[in-house]
Chains A and B, each alone.
Chain A
Amino acid sequence: MWSQFIATLIGIWLMAAPAVLEYAGAAADNSHITGPLVATLAAVALWECTRGVRFANVPLGLWLVIAPMVLEHETPAAVNSVACGLALASLAFVRGRVKRSFGGGWAALLRHQAGKTA
């Protein structure tokens, strides 16, 4: 839970970063797009039932790591992008405590049940 809370905050930070660190252009557009996506996915993953959504932030985090090589970034923007990206990709692997049970969860929908072969 705490990991996805931090990831949510990183998403919100990305939305504000172009204004705070004073960068514009493609780097700012990238922050303005990935920020809300990251924050949304992490906020959905806050809940135990949808905790698996956290993995969606792995590709987004990796994208933030390579973005400065693809799009023009000034130094502060590049450092911020790589740092946020590494943090997000890592945090996605922290499952956190899941106390509740959900009848086998989402995987149960894909699993073949005994009744079908009988």
Chain B
Amino acid sequence: MNNAANTPPGWSYNPAAWSQRLPIIVLAVAGFVMAAYLALYQYRVVPKVWEPFFHEGSETILNSDLSRLLPVSDAALGAFAYLLDAITGIIGSQKRWQTMPWLVIAFAILVGPLGAVSIALVIAQPLLFDAWCTLCLATAVISVLMIGPAMDEVLATLQYLKRIHTHSAAQFWRAFWGLKTALE
């Protein structure tokens, strides 16, 4: 499964192996389910939201003006982002750090801002509304936990692109899109 041919040069393991990617995909799916549930409450498809600790906290946060700043609610946007994370986590072979650099980098660009926005919203909860929302915090934990494990694959891809660029700058974009190059 995780054979040496897929492992990037100088690495002791393959960051694109399923054993490495699966936990991130599971986290993304869990984040999607939670965010989708919160969005369903925001659009009143479900009438009440589950809140075990902070009483009216979830209602305050989920019905706040901040959550409706954009045309779609923040949880709906979050659910969409987690879904994209899960999909970009699944696509590609165990050598995708080399065969699909564009995808690995798109995946990183999705994971990074998702974490940043989640943390900004966590800061906003006590600061602007003096309230906490349990499931909102849980989704933030998930998006933070995804960052670390996602980054090794990005590093392998960037190292590969750097090698290509050093060898022949003209081949860079072909490598980026996963097309055949003279190197490797």
Write out the residue numbers on chain B whose beta carbons fall within 8 Å of the beta carbon of A116: 166
Secondary structure type dominating chain B contacts = helix
**Does the CB pair B166–A115 fall under 8 Å?**
yes
**Does the CB pair B155–A101 fall under 8 Å?**
no
**Does B13 belong to the interface (CB within 8 Å)?**
yes
Write out the residue numbers on chain B whose beta carbons fall within 8 Å of the beta carbon of A109: 155, 158-159, 162
A101–B159 Cα gap in the complex (Å)?
A: 13
Q: A40-B115, A47-B148, A47-B149 are in contact. Are A103 and B9 (CB under 8 A)?
A: yes
Write out the residue numbers on chain A whose beta carbons fall within 8 Å of the beta carbon of B149: 47
Query: Which residues of A51-86 are within 8 A (CB) of B?
Result: none
Q: A49-B151, A108-B162 are in contact. Are A103 and B156 (CB under 8 A)?
A: yes
Which of A18, A99, A104, A106 is within 8 Å of B10, CB to CB? A104
Say which size band chain A's interface belongs to.
Answer: 20 to 34
Write out the residue numbers on chain B whose beta carbons fall within 8 Å of the beta carbon of A29: 127
**Does the CB pair A43–B144 fall under 8 Å?**
yes
Write out the residue numbers on chain A whose beta carbons fall within 8 Å of the beta carbon of B115: 40
**Chain B proximity mask over A11-38: 1 for CB below 8 Å, otherwise 0:** 0000100100000000011001100110
**Does the CB pair B119–A40 fall under 8 Å?**
yes
Which of B11, B127, B158 is within 8 Å of A101, CB to CB? B11
> Closest CB of chain B to A105's CB: distance in Å?
7
18 cross-chain CB contacts under 8 A: A28-B126, A29-B127, A33-B127, A39-B144, A40-B115, A43-B145, A43-B147, A44-B144, A44-B148, A46-B148, A47-B152, A49-B148, A103-B8, A103-B9, A103-B10, A105-B155, A108-B162, A109-B162
Binding site for A on B (CB under 8 A): 8-13, 15, 115, 119, 122-123, 126-127, 140, 144-145, 147-149, 151-152, 155-156, 158-159, 162-163, 166-167
